[in-house]
Amino acid sequence: MSCDVLVIVEHNEGRLKNVSSEILSFFGKIATDNGVKVVAFIFGDHISEKLYCDIGKLGIREIVSHVNNELDEQPGLVAGMIADLAKKVKPKLIVMANTVKSRDSAPMIAQKLDIEMFSDILNIDYKKTVINLARLVYGGKAIEKIKLLNQQALITVRPNVLGNDENEAFIPTITKLKTNELPRTQTYLTKAKITKEKVQKPINEADVIIAIGRGLRRVEDLIMVNDLARVVNGVIGSTRPVVDMGFVRRSHQIGQSGRSVSPRLAILLGISGQIQFVAGISKAKTIIAVNKDSKATIFKSADYGIVGDIYSIVPILTRELKKLKLQNR
């Protein structure tokens, strides 16, 4: 079996991750339109028939799967497994999602295969003979444009950038990998998992983000922000100072020394617009900023700006959005 594109699929609790659906539908469309051979690889435990079905619905005809409940905790083994598969099917392009999981294994996979890797890709222009990619560098101030000419490469794709294509559904053929029992290794042992209190979606996969800055004065104000977040189904993130003060987890810090995110909608509350923060949010599709200072630099980076007191604006905005939501039911 050989292919042009190998997509590494991520799933969680019996469902495809949104970012994996985006990648699969993107390449599913290319497979149908251009006769490109795309294979999806899914691994881990709890892989149901429904998952295979969901992949097929996105336009994918071939799936390779490996069921194993020990892989989850072992990036080194995952890297070895994917590299071995890639050596068998020889894809020109290996596509992963840019997630917490892939950032561990992807560089090792690329090195094992002796190929280049490009992470956090924002744009893919795919042809069999030439692939054009784009990603952000220099704190979001510049774009790196990459042209691949017939060389094998691995890319990780940012969530929320590819969109979702409607494709012809297939009943995919499934090849189940049988590997020898994975080496019981003492070199990397996951002893425990510390579950964070509220299991929040990883911020870089959120569709809507509410980001708060120092304009928020007390931790109690988070209740107001939470109400807004709930109405829009948003994830709360913040600037670095707010994380340093302990109001928000570091994993939800947005910016140069935090995460880079591309939500469909970002609502920025009480954020002045320091370049270190903007670097992480600049790729949001739509940005709304609320700040009581009309001269705040954040407005330069926003599509919509309200000059006003967040304590007045946010409750009203929450109420109006709730109304709109009910109207649209």
Partner 1 sequence: MKILVLVKEIIDTNSKIVFNKQKKLDESQVKWVVNLYDEYALEEAIRIKEQFGGEVVIYSVGNDRTKDTLNYIMSMGADRAVLIKSELTDAKSVSEILAKQIREKDADFDLILAGWIGIDWNRGQVPGRVSSVLEVPFVNVVIDIDINGKIVTCEKEGESSNEIIDVQLPALITVQRGINEPRYPSVLSIMDNTEKKIEIVDNIDQSTTKKAIIKIEPEKNRKKTYMINESDPELAVKMLMKKMIADKVM
Comparing CB distances to partner 1, the nearer of 194 and 223 is 194
Part of the chain binding partner 1 (CB under 8 A), chosen from 33-41, 47-55, 99-107, 167-175: 99-107
# residues near partner 1 by CB under 8 A: 86
The answer to whether 160 contacts partner 1 (rule: CB under 8 A) is no
Report 49-78 residues binding partner 1 (CB under 8 A): 73, 75-76
Contact partners, residue 217, CB within 8 Å, separation at least 6 = none
> Smallest gap, in angstroms, from Cβ of residue 62 to partner 1?
27
User: Least distance (Å) from partner 1 to the CB of residue 220?
Assistant: 20
Q: Which stretch binds partner 1 (CB under 8 A): 36-44, 86-94, 180-188, 213-221?
A: 180-188
14 in Cβ contact with 48 (< 8 Å): yes
- CA distances for 88 relative to 3, 9, 94, 117, angstroms: 10, 18, 13, 19
Question: Residue 54 or 120: which CB sits closer to partner 1?
Answer: 120
Residues 6+ apart with CB under 8 A from 19: 10, 97, 98, 99, 157, 158, 159, 160, 205
Residue 246 buriedness (CB in 10 A; 0-12 / 13-18 / 19+): exposed
Considering only residues 192 to 211 of the shown chain, the ones binding partner 1 according to CB under 8 A are 192-196, 199-200, 202
CB 254 within 8 A of CB 202: no
Least Å distance between CB 34 and partner 1?
Answer: 21
Segment 232 to 271, residues that bind partner 1, using CB under 8 A: 250-251, 256-257, 260, 265
272 binds partner 1 (CB under 8 A): no
Closest CB 279 distance from partner 1, rounded Å: 7
Rounded CA separation 297/285 (Å): 18
Q: Closest distance between partner 1 and the C-beta of residue 105, in Å?
A: 8
Choose which of 69, 129, 180, 187 interacts with partner 1 (CB under 8 A).
187
Q: Which residues pair with 254 in a beta bridge?
A: 259
Q: Contact 65/43 with Cβ under 8 angstroms?
A: yes
- The two three-digit tokens of residue 41, written as one number: 């690889």
Q: Is 308 in the site for partner 1 (CB under 8 A)?
A: yes
> Residue 326, interface with partner 1 (CB under 8 A)?
no
* Neighbouring C-alpha atoms within 13 Å toward the C-beta of 53: 5
Among 188, 219, 233, 293, binds partner 1 (CB under 8 A): 188
Question: Closest CB to partner 1 among 63 and 210?
Answer: 210
Q: Which stretch binds partner 1 (CB under 8 A): 18-26, 87-95, 148-156, 217-225?
A: 148-156
Q: Which residues, 6 or more positions from 262, have their beta carbon under 8 angstroms from its beta carbon?
A: 122, 158, 159, 160, 161, 204, 283, 284, 285
Least distance (Å) from partner 1 to the CB of residue 168?
Answer: 28
Check residue 297 for interaction with partner 1 (CB under 8 A).
Answer: no
145 binds partner 1 (CB under 8 A): yes
* Identified binder of partner 1 from the candidate list 140, 213, 263, 273, rule CB under 8 A: 140
Structure tokens at 172: 């995919």
Sign of torsion over alpha carbons 227, 230, 231, 236: positive
